[in-house]
Chain A
Amino acid sequence: MNTALAGKRILIVEDEFMIAILLEDMLTELNCAIAGISADPAQALGLIGSTEIDAAVLDVNLDGDDSFAVAAALVERRIPFIFATGYGASRLPQELVGHPVIQKPYRLEELSRALSKLHML
């Protein structure tokens, strides 16, 4: 349904498996490739250093931890990303304000629109 996103490698950072596979299924429907699914920040940072990634979808709260360190690593590598969270955007630290946020639960169209606006290389 969205050719611009076809083949893009997307990293999923989400601690809840059910939500992760929902996102995986949605991304598959958008013809994206899954660069990896990660449940915790350390694992995600490892994937960022070792895998080709075009964009990422980050959950903010990873079982008590936050994903801001992951976001910072992505910013450093100029990899665009979106936050998917149950919290409002007010929860973001100053330096990350401005990155797109989609509210859980989100629909396929919302995810598609948010990803399409990213400046992927």
Chain B
Amino acid sequence: MPEESDGGLASQPDRDSALPDLERASRAELQLTLEQLARANTRLALLNRVSTRLLSDPTASFSDLFEAIAREIGAHYFFYQRTDSHRPEHLLLAAASEQESEQEARRANEILLAASHSATAHQSIVLDSAQLAENDAYKSVVQAGLLSFIRVPLLAQDRLLGAVSFASVSRPSFPEADQELVRTFADQLAAAVERQRLELQLRESEQLYRGAVITGRLASWETNMVTRERIWTKEGLEMFGLDLPNGRGVVGGPNDEYWRTLHPEDRHMVAEFHRTADKIDSYPAEYRILRSDGRLMWMSGRGRVVERGPDGKARRVANMVVDVTERKKNEQRTRLLIDELNHRVKNTLATVQAIIAQTLKGGAVGTDPRDTLEARLQSLSRSHNLLTRENWEGANLREVVLEALKPFIRPEDDRQLSVEGQGLRLRPKVALSLGMALHELATNASKYGALSSEAGRIAIRWATTAVDGEPYLDFLWEERGGPVVGPRSHRGFGSRLLEQGLPHELGGTARLEYLPEGIHCKISFPLPQIEESAT
């Protein structure tokens, strides 16, 4: 518009006599419009500067912005208060004596705020010189030299963040245009403060989440069924052992990194997950992954549908899993142990069944089958104790020998039994077999042999040798000093166990000799190394 009239004036300078007056008036009007335009332009530039500053660094001090606004509206004081801070920021623009004026200004602000408290902090307050003079409550303010005052709250969705105030010692009032400038400034500042608060909150919750992610071994990613894209978090990539530029993956097809990382036996679950996501918002998932570095891990978590299409099908699914490998391993170990224990119990019961059958079939004349049975079961029980003490990983040969002989020897007589041999660990099965065999030898000795008389002696010795390069154990049982032994009268359970049972179970040889001085028994069997981690 101004341009148009300006152009009109230039092309037709001498149209009629009234023109000079009109022209003068128009020029004055034009001058005013141009001034207003220039002013509006300055204010626009100022607001532009404000918003740029607030956007670029909301944490910096805004004193220079306040100063610029104050200068623009002819204010001499500004006050910036935040609800999250007790100390108002303020600056003195015009002051004769700085110290005094600052205190006055501070007091003035407090008085103005207190007096306008009833107006609620959520509303703007604009007071001109007349209004200030009218009210007795503002007396001290007027005495401090303040003529006009404007206060605009900083609001973010009705939440009070603080307020900005400007006061002038020379202008009797702030016109509407100035009020508008302060309101716009306040709005921009409120938005910046709120953004800063939200960012801080987000950063804090992000840090909290990161902490939980790291300590809880959490991995997450989002699956987008529409764009066929998968967005991984750093932790997700790490846990799945993936190396993807930008953390972006492909949903479906041969390059689907998630599908490829799943354990081949668990890959069928993916189709199931997709079907479930179309029906249910949140569903559990538990599966194995086989990472490219060969590590097998167990994952447990949930898929949560965050967006559905108009057809109800899942569009985006947020996934979160925890590493439960340790828990799974423990479960498997426990199951294996229970399985193993069950097997052991069943086998032991079968052994007991066999012992009963053998004992009832008839031992030597004059023996009570009940005593024999009880002694055999107790011997078996003691061997079990010995093995349980060492987690069924093995037993010490010397302990096996002493445990088997214990019920038959007199503890105060140290000449009755001699045991010589190096320290050796036996596998559980070998310990049990040898324990039973020694029990039968000792039972026989206590009834008919060296342990049936005061003078009888038993010498037990062993040594390791090698047969065809394999380590062997030569184990000797020698009785002497007991009653004279005649030729073998019958082959009972004991001799069957020794001569057939030990070779059967240990894969070696066993020879019983009925010498006049007493029974000698030589047992030889291969001695494989005990595996350290045997279950």
Q: List residues of A whose CB falls within 8 A of some B CB.
A: 15-22, 25, 37, 39-40, 61, 63, 85-87, 91, 103-106
Contact = CB atoms under 8 A, between A and B. Distances in A.
20 contacts: A15-B429, A15-B505, A16-B347, A18-B350, A19-B347, A21-B500, A22-B357, A25-B361, A39-B504, A40-B507, A61-B343, A63-B429, A85-B343, A86-B342, A86-B345, A87-B342, A87-B346, A103-B346, A104-B347, A105-B350
A10 B436 CA distance: 27
Interface in B339-395: 339, 342-347, 349-355, 357-358, 361
A17 B353 contact: no
A77 B502 CA distance: 31
A19 B354 contact: yes
Contact of B358 (A15, A21, A40, A103): A21
Contacts of A20: 504
Given A20-B504, A86-B350, A103-B346, 12 more contacts: A15-B429, A16-B347, A16-B505, A17-B501, A19-B350, A21-B354, A22-B357, A39-B507, A40-B507, A87-B346, A105-B349, A106-B350
A91 B507 CA distance: 27
Contacts of A18: 350-351, 354-355, 358, 436, 497, 501
Contacts of A15: 429, 505
A85 B350 CA distance: 10
Majority-rule SS of A interface residues: mixed
A112 B235 CA distance: 62
- Among B345, B502, B504, which residue has the most Cβ atoms of chain A within 10 A? B504
Contacts of A39: 504-505, 507
A77 B504 CA distance: 26
B495 interface: no
Task: Output the residue of A16, A18, A19 with the most chain B CB within 10 A.
Answer: A18
B496 interface: yes
Contacts of A104: 346-347, 349-350
Interface residues of B, number: 28
A80 B154 CA distance: 91
Interface of B: 339, 342-347, 349-355, 357-358, 361, 429, 433, 436, 496-497, 500-502, 504-505, 507
Pairs of residues from A and B, 4 with the lowest C-beta to C-beta distance, nearest first: A86-B346, A17-B501, A22-B354, A86-B343
Nearest to A91: B339
Contacts of A17: 433, 497, 500-502, 504-505
Given A17-B497, A86-B345, A105 B505 contact: no
A103 B507 CA distance: 26
A22 B505 contact: no
B507 to A, nearest CB: 7
Given A39-B504, A63-B429, A105 B358 contact: no
B312 to A, nearest CB: 41
A19 B433 CA distance: 12
Contacts of B353: 22, 105
A44 B534 CA distance: 25
Contacts of A85: 343, 346
A67 to B, nearest CB: 14
Contacts of B351: 16, 18-19
Nearest to B496: A21
A16 B357 CA distance: 15
Contacts of A63: 429
Contacts of B505: 15-17, 39
A63 B427 CA distance: 10
A20 B345 CA distance: 17
Contacts of B345: 86
Nearest to A40: B507
Given A19-B350, A25-B357, A87 B504 contact: no
Nearest to A20: B504
Contacts of B349: 104-105
B74 to A, nearest CB: 92
Nearest to B349: A105
A37 B504 contact: yes
Contacts of B343: 61, 85-87
Q: Which of B342, B354, B357, B436 has the most CB of A within 10 A?
A: B354
A25 B496 CA distance: 13
Which of B342, B350, B497 has the most A CB atoms < 10 Å from its CB?
B350
A37 B344 CA distance: 21
A19 B380 CA distance: 14
Contact of B344 (A86, A91, A103, A105): A86
Contacts of A61: 343
